[in-house]
Amino acid sequence: MCFGDEVPEHPAHLGFIDPHCYVQDSIKDAYENAQFLCEGYYLKSPSLEIRSVNTISPDEPICIAYVPSHLYHIMFELFKNSMRATVEYAESRKESNTLPPIIVDIVKAKEDLTIRISDRGGGIPRSKVDKIFRYMYSTAPRPVSLTDSQHSGPVPLAGFGYGLPISRLYARYFNGDMEIHSIDGYGTDAYVYLQTVEDQASEWLPICNRAAYEYYTSRRYQSDWTKKK
């Protein structure tokens, strides 16, 4: 049974992997949903500026073989953190009427796709930077349980303590990574690195037997279904 009146754009889509995942679309989707939560909680939100550079095909939108839901989750968590920091820092400085925008730079090169999310939310002290990827660590107050029947307030943006650790786990799943660099008193830059070359974006799983060890130590790579013909 078909739902809707549009034919799927990518018939090569297999499972959760989209061989033509348009990065900017996923980023905008994540921003809009994070913005909805931010405005529901703070009644305001910073705007978004996107700058993209495709060094491989300058006239084409940036896309890679990736799991769109993973990219969405990563960006959604980073946007929530940036929005919360931006709004609260501006309020602490009595500048909440002019929120600085969140700037996203997307660069696709031969090996890496790099996404940088820059905010001016006051930054993170060096004493806390090493803690932000710890599970259950959060600088936000612990939110009220969503199962509490007496809780009727807005949905919290942060406080659960697993957003960044899981986001980095998603980024690393296909040989990518995520890093946080901050200037205390100014703002934070979050870097998301993803593989541009499909052959290098293999999933990394725990080595639990000899077969897995031989698979990961082998340097023989073969083209798969994501490779363009």
Query: Which is the catalytic residue, given 10, 49, 60, 77?
Result: 77
Nearest to 77 by CA among 163, 162, 176, 177: 163
Spatial contact of 215 and 205, defined as CB atoms under 8 Å apart: no
Query: Is residue 28 annotated as a catalytic residue, yes or no?
Result: no
Structural contact between residues 50 and 23, judged by C-beta atoms closer than 8 angstroms: no
Tokens of 88: 């609260």
Number of C-beta neighbours around residue 195 at 10 A: 19
Helix (H, G, I), strand (E, B) or coil at 49: strand
* Active-site position among 10, 33, 49, 73: 73
Active site residue 73: yes
* Radius of gyration of the chain from its Cα atoms, rounded to whole angstroms: 20
**Any residues with CB less than 8 A from the CB of 87 and at least 6 apart, and which?**
38, 42, 44, 45, 46, 96, 99, 121
How far is Cα 22 from Cα 15, in angstroms, rounded to an integer?
17
DSSP code per residue over 111-133: SEEEEEEEE-S----HHHHTTTT
The answer for 122, left when phi > 0, alpha when psi is -120 to 50, beta otherwise, is left
Q: Which of 28, 33, 60, 81 is catalytic?
A: 81
Kindly name the residue from 80, 151, 175, 229 that is annotated as catalytic: 80
| Enzyme catalytic residues | 73, 77, 80-81
